[in-house]
Amino acid sequence: MVPGLLSRCKKGDGVLEVLEQPRPGRCPRLVVEMTTDSTSRRDWFDYLDEAQRNRDAQSALGIVHGAEVPGGGLVRSYGADKTVIAYDPEQDDPRLLNLALYFLRCQAIHASSRWQSANAREAGEQVTDLATLTERKLESIRVRFTEVQRCASKGIADVDALRSGVSRLIAELLNDLEKPDS
C-alpha cells in the first residue's frame, strides 16, 4: 500500500482522482474506505475525516459490506463530503454505489475548485505584498545610490581641485627652477 500523508496511518483503502485532465494545481480526489464488519462501532465521521487527510482527498466514501450501515439504513451522510453506504455486491444494485461515487465526485470537484480559488486569492495577495516590498526596497536602494553619487561627485570635485592645485604648484616650481640665479 502506498503510504499516506499522515505518519503511520493506513486509512484510505483506495483513492480515485476524479478528473482525467486535472486543472493546474490540486487534482480532486475521493478516498474510499471499506469494511466487511457491518456490526463495527467505528466512528465513521472521524474515520473518514482522517482518511481524507491521509490521502489528501476532498471527499470520502465508506462502504460497509452488508444490509445496513451501523445505526441503521442503507446510507448515512456525515456532511456534504462524507457518506457511508451499505452495499452487498451479490444482492444490491450497482447503481447505488455508482450514485454515491458520482455525488462525492461532484463534491470533490467543488471542494477542489474552492481550494484553488482560495489559493489564487492568496497568491494574488502575496504578489501584491511582493510588489510593495520590492517598491520599498528599490526606493531605499535609489536613496543609497543618490547618496553614493553625491559623495562620489564631492570626491571627484576634491580630486579635480587637488589635481589643479598640484599642477599649479608643479608649474610654479618648474618656473622657479628655470629662472637663472640672481
Question: Is the pLDDT confidence value at 27 over 80?
Answer: no
| Residue-level pLDDT at 182 | 60
Question: Is the pLDDT confidence value at 69 over 70?
Answer: yes
| Residue-level pLDDT at 28 | 83
Question: Is the pLDDT confidence value at 57 over 80?
Answer: yes
How many C-beta atoms lie closer than 10 Å to residue 33's C-beta?
Answer: 23
Please tell me whether residue 17 adopts helix, strand or coil conformation.
Answer: strand
The more confident residue out of 43 and 115 is 43
Q: How confident is the model at residue 25 (pLDDT cuts 50, 70, 90)?
A: low
Dihedral class, residue 64 (left if φ above 0, else alpha if ψ from -120 to 50, else beta): beta
Residue 43 φ then ψ, to 5°: -80, 95
Question: Is the pLDDT confidence value at 20 over 60?
Answer: no
Helical spans, DSSP H, in 1-93: 44-55
Q: Mean pLDDT across the stretch 17-29?
A: 66
Q: Burial letters for 130-152: b for 16+ Cβ neighbours within 10 Å, e otherwise?
A: eeeeeeeeeeeeeeeeeeeeeee
Instruction: Convert the pLDDT of each residue in 93-152 to its tens digit.
Output: 888 888 888 888 887 777 777 666 666 677 677 777 777 777 778 778 878 888 888 888
